[in-house]
Amino acid sequence: MGQGSAAPGAERRDHPGERPIAVRPDETVIPVLHCFDPEATIEFFRAIGFEVTHDQRRPYLYLALRWSGFDLHFGRPPKGLDPSMEHTGGCLVMVDDVAAYHAAITRGMREAFGKVLGRGLPRVTRYRPGASRFTLMDPSGNSVIFIQRDEPEEPEYGGSEGLPPFARALDNARILRDFKTDDLAASRQLESALRRRADEATDVERATALAMLVELSTALGDHAEAADRRDRLREIELTEQERSVVEAELRNAGDLRRWLGEEPS
């Protein structure tokens, strides 16, 4: 800790003879995000349960929204910022039960829009059982990331050097998909492994890669690719035990289609 700094709650004297300064841990931090379209922002956040607590358009834009126990504020973005690039801004929301927040947000989307918004802007990333986070993207390209409060401090990134190359590619793709929520990168990782190292893989590893690609293609909206990968998967002969492993991945694709409202629940 640098000279002159003090831990929260500790007493500090900047100069001899001064009264001590007591800093108490009672802060409230509210992120101020960029907003390109105030009407779209209000419509979206209201739909998923937020309350508008302040709506000011002149002399400058300032919106304040609240949901559960936290607030989001919005102001006008700088010139040249492109919301489609999805690097507008963002914040982290630490919660005790991340699955409950995802369920509440998706329920609000279905009620307001008739479906879960899973692609484009705005959208919410899918939640897989056991996951510790998901991301809500707003109409302006801001990311609000909900994180389980007891998520491990040192996340497991996968891709251990101790694994054979194909198994390492599967592990890397799992991390890209489940932790980094980067479906495109996960898909490319698996496609590269199948193209370059399929001869080194076991039947169940190749089948698992194809099953993961079925789900990733569904998430990316490429149903023709998903169907092609299902056909390739059917050509691989598996034992009953191996088939149960692959079917678990395929169920993820079916669950995803139902979640997106693309087939009956």
Model pLDDT for residues 190-227, shown as the tens digit of each residue: 999 999 999 999 999 999 999 999 999 988 889 899 99
For residue range 99-122, what is the model confidence (pLDDT) as tens digits? 999 999 999 999 999 999 988 999
pLDDT of amino acid 199: 94
Handedness of CA 246, 123, 220, 95 (dihedral sign): negative
Q: Residue by residue, what is the 3-state secondary structure of 67-80? A: ECCEEEEEECCCCC
- Assess whether pLDDT exceeds 90 at residue 259: no
Q: Is the pTM of this model over 0.85?
A: no
Q: Which residue has tokens 């640098």? A: 2
CA dihedral 163, 169, 173, 175 (to 10 degrees): 30
The runs of H, that is alpha helices, within 79-222 are 98-113, 165-178, 183-197, 203-219
User: Contact 63/52 with Cβ under 8 angstroms?
Assistant: yes
User: Contact 13/3 with Cβ under 8 angstroms?
Assistant: no
Sequence-ordered strand ranges (E) for 114-181? 123-124, 133-137, 142-148
User: Contact 251/105 with Cβ under 8 angstroms?
Assistant: no
